[in-house]
Structure 1
Amino acid sequence: MKRKKGGEGGASWMDTYGDMVTLLLCFFVLLYSMSTLDQQKWQQVVQSFNPDAIEEMMQASGNNGPNANTDKPGGSPAAQATTQEQVDAMLEQLYEQLTSYTQAQGTEENISVTKGDGYVFLSFNEAVFFDGDSYILRQDGQEVLNEVSAMLDKAAGGIDEIKVLGHTAQSNPQMPNNPSLDRFLASNRATVVLVYLQEHSSLDPARLISVGYGQWRPVASNDSPEGLAKNRRVELIVTGLDVENAMGDSIAHYYTKRDGGPAKEDASALEDAPTSTASEADSSAKPS
């Protein structure tokens, strides 16, 4: 009998081809799953065999971590891209703008601006931001901070750090303030101002710090309403980068100290400078 042409081999050929395509699909799916392996889990697996493996790989590649270029000592983009002359010019311009603003607004009594070597110091009396015993930012205080934020934005490339300092006053000379109320009120006022600056400017949040001093750093006697108003204040210390100093960047300095490195030799203690003698400081039971 004559064999039919075409045979029955076609079906077997297609089955083989289908199996091959399926295997290829599985192969590529496997490659994709390996390429998206969670980096943290992979590091944990590698470190389970060799605890020093990840650190050795980082050192060999010249990388110290996910944010090595910005968060580690000497890795600040600002410090690498800005000259000291530019930093000094930015601070000088900031000082002039702030001074012109206070003069134009006629607020010299409530806002004072001073400039030192590498920093600009602003002091705002209680009337600018808060009501008595309150840390709710007033509407007119927000308007002042909007102007200040715009000026700080222009100098952002040369700013190393901005410290917001909160202070209270005392109305009873016979008794110190309650520590909890006093410290919380001062800290909350400083934090409220800092948060507003962070939300309404392009400043690097890592360079913003808030501190609450409470009643303990008065600048005037508490015997008069004028003195109380001066002591109930919020201050800003705007420090410029020290480009020529390896430790002149506060973020780099932080990571160096965290790793047990040397302290900053020329650290400035501007906020610690005494402004009055102990005999000038009154006491009271309630912060204000």
Structure 2
Amino acid sequence: MKLRRRHRQRTKGSPKWMTTYADMITLILVFFILLFSMSQINQVKFEAVAESFRNQMIFDFYPSPVENDNPTNQSKLEENGEDTNENDERIEGSDVQADAEGEKEKSEEEDLDELLKEVEDFLANNELQDIISATRTEQGVVLVLQEKLLFETGEADILSSGEPFLSKVGSLLESIPNDVKIEGHTDNRPISTVEYPSNWELSGARAGSVIRFLTNDNDDLQSERLSAAAYADTRPVAPNDSEENLQENRRVEIVILDEDYSS
């Protein structure tokens, strides 16, 4: 009896190890694609590059490598001296805008100078220039009233001797349409009373007392134009190292705001 030989069936296709290897490579590729998709793009650099392409400055001086669909039309425009680039219009528009902004700033400066002169003339005519000082800042025109003109030390009730000066200031504010901010300032010496636990409460109470007097004394002064601010000892005008400097820091400032600053 003869033994039958079993013939091994040969499988078609790639070897099994190659399939496993290909799966591994595919998984690694997917892994790195996932890492790339989760990475963050530098937004600042990206916007800078994008803006450089938007300006299209480089294309104004070099011919485009892309062939024009209508080269004859393009050549006609160049022969006639017509420029299809919009960059010149953009630059011209920016120059016009810059000139307009410059004119606006110049006008605002002139308005503030005129306002300061008007305030100084008012102080001189009412003999207040030695009592109330006027300066100009980026906010507007600032009237500085020292503590001794309006208050007792550590108090927020307006002295009767200071009321005539405040009445004249109120008349000035009535004639000016600008908004007004009343700021209270103190020196750095601590205060701790039942009524004023700290300099914050004292400076705020003094600013409020000035606003209350101005609105009560001047019927035509609209209260919605006024605002109060308390700064305590955070904005000194002199070092708190002498009695004279301490007195300078204890003050109330009436800021006649520039129209653009108040808006």
Q: TM-score w.r.t. structure 2 length?
A: 0.51
Is 1:95 matched up with 2:112? no
State the secondary structure of the residue aligned to 1:219.
Answer: coil
CA distance in 2, matches of 1:88, 1:200: 32
Amino acid of the residue matched to residue 112 of structure 1? S
Q: Among residues 144, 148, 154, which one is paired with 2:175 in the alignment?
A: 154
CA distance in 1, matches of 2:262, 2:233: 30
* Matching of residues 117-128 of structure 1 within 5 Å: 119-128=140-149
Identify if the C-alpha distance between structure 1 residues 227 and 117 changes in structure 2 by more than 3 Å, giving closer, same or farther: closer
Q: Cα offset for 1:113?
A: 0.5
Moved more, 202-211 or 84-93: 84-93
* Aligned sequence identity (%): 28
Q: Cα offset for 1:131?
A: 1.2
**Residues 88, 118 of structure 1: 8 Å contact kept:** no
Structure 2: state its 5+ residue gaps: 1-104
CA distance in 2, matches of 1:121, 1:105: 17
Q: TM-score w.r.t. structure 1 length?
A: 0.47
Which residue is 1:131 aligned to?
Answer: 152
Bigger relative contact order, structure 1 or 2, given CA contacts below 8 A and separation 6+? 1
Please say which structure displays the higher CA radius of gyration: 2
State the secondary structure of the residue aligned to 1:170.
Answer: coil
- Structural RMSD (CA): 3.1
CA distance in 2, matches of 1:119, 1:205: 19
CA distance in 2, matches of 1:107, 1:154: 17
Which residue is 2:38 aligned to?
Answer: none
Q: Cα offset for 1:127?
A: 1.6
CA distance in 2, matches of 1:249, 1:113: 19
Structure 1: state its 5+ residue gaps: 1-83, 243-247, 251-288
Which residue is 1:217 aligned to?
Answer: 235
CA distance in 2, matches of 1:143, 1:109: 15
Identify if the C-alpha distance between structure 1 residues 216 and 195 changes in structure 2 by more than 3 Å, giving closer, same or farther: same
Identify if the C-alpha distance between structure 1 residues 225 and 107 changes in structure 2 by more than 3 Å, giving closer, same or farther: farther
Amino acid of the residue matched to residue 209 of structure 2? V
Q: Cα offset for 1:225?
A: 1.6
CA distance in 2, matches of 1:239, 1:199: 21
Is 1:167 matched up with 2:188? no
**Residues 163, 208 of structure 1: 8 Å contact kept:** yes
State the secondary structure of the residue aligned to 1:139.
Answer: coil
